[in-house]
Amino acid sequence: MSNPLRVLAIEDNPDDAELLALQLASGGYDVDYLRVDTAADLQAALAAGPWDIILTDYSMPQFDAIAALTIVQASGQDIPFIIVSGSIGEETAVAAMQAGSHDYLLKSNLTRLVPAVKRELREAQVRDERRQALRDLEQLAFYDLLTGLPNRSKFLLNLQDWIEHRQADPEAHFSVIFLDIDRYKRVKYGLGHQKGHDFLVEVGQRLVRWAGPNDLVAHIEEDSFAIALRHVANTAVLAEKVAQVHGLMEEPFQLGALQIYASASLGIVDSNLPYTVAADFLRAADTANYHARQQGGQTRFFSIQMQTEESDRLQLEADLQQALVNQELVLYYQPIISLQTCQVSGFEALVRWHHPTRGWVGPNIFIPLAEQTGLIIPLGQWVLEEACRQMHHWQTELAEFLPLSVAVNLSGIQLVQPNLATTIQAIWEQAQIQGLSLKLEVTESLLMENGELVIQQLQRLRSSGIQICIDDFGTGYSSLAYLHSLPINTLKIDRSFVDRMTLDGKNLSIVKTILTLAKTLGLSVVAEGIETANQFDELRSLNCTEGQGYLFAKPLPPQDLALWLHQAKSPHFLTTVSATHPHYDSPLSSAC
């Protein structure tokens, strides 16, 4: 059964009120009505609502319809309002309609009552739906669907009010904190999107619970939140607040059965900056945040000098988007030499960017940018496809030098993509290459931090014949005890150890330890960054498997590789390579 029609009758005569109810009942309504005839009773009734419709007499001893209408309007409720009067002149009726009454009827002709009520109820519903749609639109425009928090637009709108307020009152200080969750992508790709979302919601809730009633907390984008703190002028107070935010983030997060630990980088600005637009404050806080992240996390306060660097970075970011489209990226290949046979065992593919105005830009500059923007995914895919395409070509061009391996670097973001193994396997199988094998280089910290999912992916890859190398070995924090359980084939000793090895006893002993460890685990070792003949000789005598470095060759464009390989076979090549054996025929001949 439908709900009764809740009628508020403003009427001094109980019989007339009853008559209205009967008329409505005859039209099929189940009526529940209340009669009032004073301003005070009307106010009380409105407060006790809700009401579906108001039917009011025009003039009563203590009250009248226009005064009632004013009260209803002041209550902010949109209730259909119909005047039912014993007599009403046309002018009065028009004035009442203009004041906001929806209709007027004469008590002597109540046949119009039911159709008028029906129509007004329908129209009220339409108005209600429209208001709801507007609310939904506002929710969509100003609130984040995931966390329910205000979004960037809402944050900027509110902050703009604060800025204007401060222009009038210089004491109205505020500070803006840009919070970025460290390594969020690892949570998202490592634990799945749902857990990633739960985690973001929990971060938002913690911030809201912590923030004061006058502060603003907003979800700006995936792993970034913004907080505006009102009336914080004192740096000691601000420092205390910052420490509290770090503390909030460092409390463990319970995601279902999993407990994870997180941290955040904070960028901060205060209202002393000469900006008048909210977006400038937010951008400045974001810039400070970027600097905090660059330095491994925690907190940075904004300085104007950061701004110049920031616009440079933004430009480079935009250019990098185009670089992929405009095919400005190229792969260079650095030869890797077997230190025992002195033959070339393979190459490492190293990406370079030929920027239209800046010239060559190195991967150390643009790979971190690509990782921050997510562009590393298409970029990494391109590197793999391009390396495979090149290998296909070498299959015939370098036939006399086969077998060779090609090593491709993988970024941490790629590594936590759940479909990584499938994608790489597909690219590799499609390439159908004989005599060439694919190696993937990952850094040790990535393996250690990412746990089971990543290891399973690498296991899958390795069982399909792709080899896995730990790059820059020695610089991360491998648990040596853990190393044996990882699906790896090769350790690449970081250049920093090779660099001072012959001068520095400590580095030499690290290299020796790595070599002993690798031998026990049955892993091959590539020494990176061999620049001198002494390093080459030392590593050879320590039985290091392979080496790579400027002593042999810098990374080369693919069209130069065939020529280099032929030159490397010639006797003259030798003299530049070995200090202790200057009369070798060729370091790259089997005699070596």
Build a one-symbol-per-residue string for 440-459: x at contacts with ligand C2E by CB under 6 A, - elsewhere.
Answer: -x------------------
Q: Which positions from 308 through 337 interact with ligand C2E, judged by CB under 6 A?
A: 334
Burial of 47 (0-12, 13-18, 19+ CB in 10 A): exposed
CA distances from 420 to 76, 447, 494, 558 (A): 57, 14, 25, 26
Interatomic CA distance for residues 546 and 393, integer angstroms: 24
350 binds, among Mg ion, ligand C2E, none (CB under 5 to 8 A by kind): ligand C2E
| Residue number, 217 or 424, with CB nearest to ligand C2E | 424
Which of 224, 271, 345, 409 is close enough to bind ligand C2E by CB under 6 A? 409
3-state helix, strand, coil in the chain (%, to 5): 50, 20, 30
Contact call for residue 499 and Mg ion (CB under 5 A):
no
Contact call for residue 438 and ligand C2E (CB under 6 A):
no
Number of residues that bind Mg ion (CB under 5 A): 5
- 269 neighbors 284 (Cβ within 8 angstroms): yes
| Site stretch for ligand C2E (CB under 6 A), options 225-233, 271-279, 408-416, 577-585 | 408-416
Which of 350, 404, 483, 486 is close enough to bind ligand C2E by CB under 6 A? 350
Helices (H), 464-576: 480-483, 495-499, 505-521, 533-541, 558-568
144 binds, among ligand C2E, Mg ion, none (CB under 5 to 8 A by kind): none
| Site stretch for Mg ion (CB under 5 A), options 208-216, 305-313, 375-383, 520-528 | 520-528
Contact call for residue 362 and ligand C2E (CB under 6 A):
yes
Interatomic CA distance for residues 214 and 123, integer angstroms: 39
Contact call for residue 471 and ligand C2E (CB under 6 A):
yes
Contact call for residue 364 and ligand C2E (CB under 6 A):
yes
DSSP string, 286-338: HHHHHHHHHTTSEEEE--HHHHHHHHHHHHHHHHHHHHHHTT-EEEEEEEEEE
| Site stretch for ligand C2E (CB under 6 A), options 72-80, 122-130, 409-417, 458-466 | 409-417
Contact call for residue 271 and ligand C2E (CB under 6 A):
no
- 529 neighbors 549 (Cβ within 8 angstroms): yes
362 binds, among ligand C2E, Mg ion, none (CB under 5 to 8 A by kind): ligand C2E
482 binds, among ligand C2E, Mg ion, none (CB under 5 to 8 A by kind): none
Contact call for residue 441 and Mg ion (CB under 5 A):
yes
Antiparallel, parallel or unpaired: β 258-260 and 253-255: antiparallel
| Residue number, 278 or 498, with CB nearest to ligand C2E | 498
SS3 of 546-560: the string is EECCCCCCCCECHHH
User: Which tokens sit at 288?
Assistant: 């400070």
Contact call for residue 416 and ligand C2E (CB under 6 A):
no
Q: Considering the complex, what minimum distance in angstroms separates the CB of residue 436 from Mg ion?
A: 18
Q: Sign of dihedral through CA atoms 141, 146, 150, 155? A: negative
Interatomic CA distance for residues 30 and 8, integer angstroms: 14
| Residue number, 460 or 495, with CB nearest to ligand C2E | 495
Build a one-symbol-per-residue string for 408-427: x at contacts with Mg ion by CB under 5 A, - elsewhere.
Answer: -x------------------
What is the enclosing helix (H) or strand (E) of 174?
A: strand 174-181
Which of 144, 310, 472, 499 is close enough to bind Mg ion by CB under 5 A? 472
CA distances from 553 to 332, 515, 531, 577 (A): 11, 23, 9, 11
Q: Considering the complex, what minimum distance in angstroms separates the CB of residue 389 from Mg ion?
A: 20
| Residue number, 211 or 556, with CB nearest to ligand C2E | 556
Task: Give, as one character, the DSSP assignment of residue 473.
Answer: E
Which of 57, 472, 538, 546 is close enough to bind ligand C2E by CB under 6 A? 472
Interatomic CA distance for residues 373 and 317, integer angstroms: 8
Contacting positions for ligand C2E (CB under 6 A): 334, 350-351, 362-364, 367, 380, 383, 409-411, 441, 471-472, 495, 528-531, 548-550, 555
Binding residues vs Mg ion (CB under 5 A): 409, 441, 471-472, 528
